[in-house]
A = this chain, B = another copy of it.
Amino acid sequence: MTEKGLLLVLSGPSGVGKGTVKSAIVKNKVFPFEYSVSMTTRKPRPGEVNGKDYYFVSQERFKQAINQNELLEYNQYVNNFYGTPMAPVEKMLEAGKDVLLEIDVNGAKKVRKQMPDGVFIFLTPPDLHTLHTRLENRGTESEDVIMGRIKQARQEILVMQDYDYAVVNDTVANAVDHIKAIVEAEHVSVKRVINTYRKMVKED
C-alpha cells in the first residue's frame, strides 16, 4: 500500500532559524525526504549544476512558467526570480515520497493555495513563546520595547493561524524532534491513509 507522500512546508518569520533547522534535519537524517530544486534566473556560480542546485533559466522562460502556472510559488530578489516548480514536487508526492520546502511566509501562503493538503509548520521565535513571562515581569524592560514586541507578536500570531503546527525554535534539537513527531503523526492520520484502505477493499 503506497500512500501519497507529504508536502512539508517549513516556514516562519525571517531570522527564526528555518535554514538551521532544515540543515539539522538533513545532517541527522531525521526522516527521509526529497528536495525540491528551485528555478532561478540568476547565473550559475562556479560548481553549481543545472537541475541539481537550481534549474537555471532565462527571464523569458521564468515568465512563461509564471504565466502557465507551473510554479508553486516564486519571488524576486534584486533582479532575479526564484521559484518552486510544481510538476517535480507532484511527481515525488505521487511516488509516496515526502518533500520538504523551506520557504518564507509569503511563499508558504502561495503554496497553501495550490496544495492545501500540505503540512504547514510555522517555526516560532522562542521570545514569542516566552513573551508572557516578560509581560508578567513588566518594569524590568522599557514599556516601548515591550509594546514593540507585542505588536510584532500580533503579526506573528496572525500568520501562524494559517499553519497546521507551531514549533518553538528554542533549541534546534527540540524543533527537530517536534518536526519528526509531526511527520510520523501525519503519516498515520486517517485523512491521509483512508483512501488507500478504501481502494484496497474495492478490489474484489
Contact = CB atoms under 8 A, between A and B. Distances in A.
A165 to B, nearest CB: 5
Contacts of A161: 190, 194
Main secondary structure of the interface of A (DSSP, over half): helix
A198 B157 contact: yes
26 contacts: A1-B132, A128-B197, A131-B201, A132-B203, A135-B200, A135-B203, A146-B204, A153-B200, A153-B201, A157-B198, A161-B194, A164-B189, A165-B185, A165-B188, A165-B189, A166-B188, A166-B189, A166-B193, A168-B188, A177-B184, A178-B184, A178-B185, A178-B188, A180-B181, A182-B185, A182-B188
Contacts of A56: none
Nearest to A162: B190
A142 to B, nearest CB: 14
A108 to B, nearest CB: 13
A150 B204 contact: yes
Interface residues of A, number: 40
Nearest to A186: B185
A204 B136 CA distance: 10
A197 B124 CA distance: 11
A7 interface: no
B181 A194 contact: no
A167 interface: yes
Interface hub of A132, A188, A194, A203 (most chain B Cβ within 10 A): A188
Nearest to A131: B200
Interface string A45-67: 00000000000000000000000
Given A163-B190, A182-B185, A185-B186, 20 more contacts: A131-B201, A150-B204, A153-B197, A157-B197, A160-B190, A160-B197, A161-B194, A164-B189, A165-B185, A165-B188, A165-B190, A166-B188, A166-B190, A166-B194, A166-B197, A167-B188, A181-B182, A181-B184, A182-B184, A182-B188
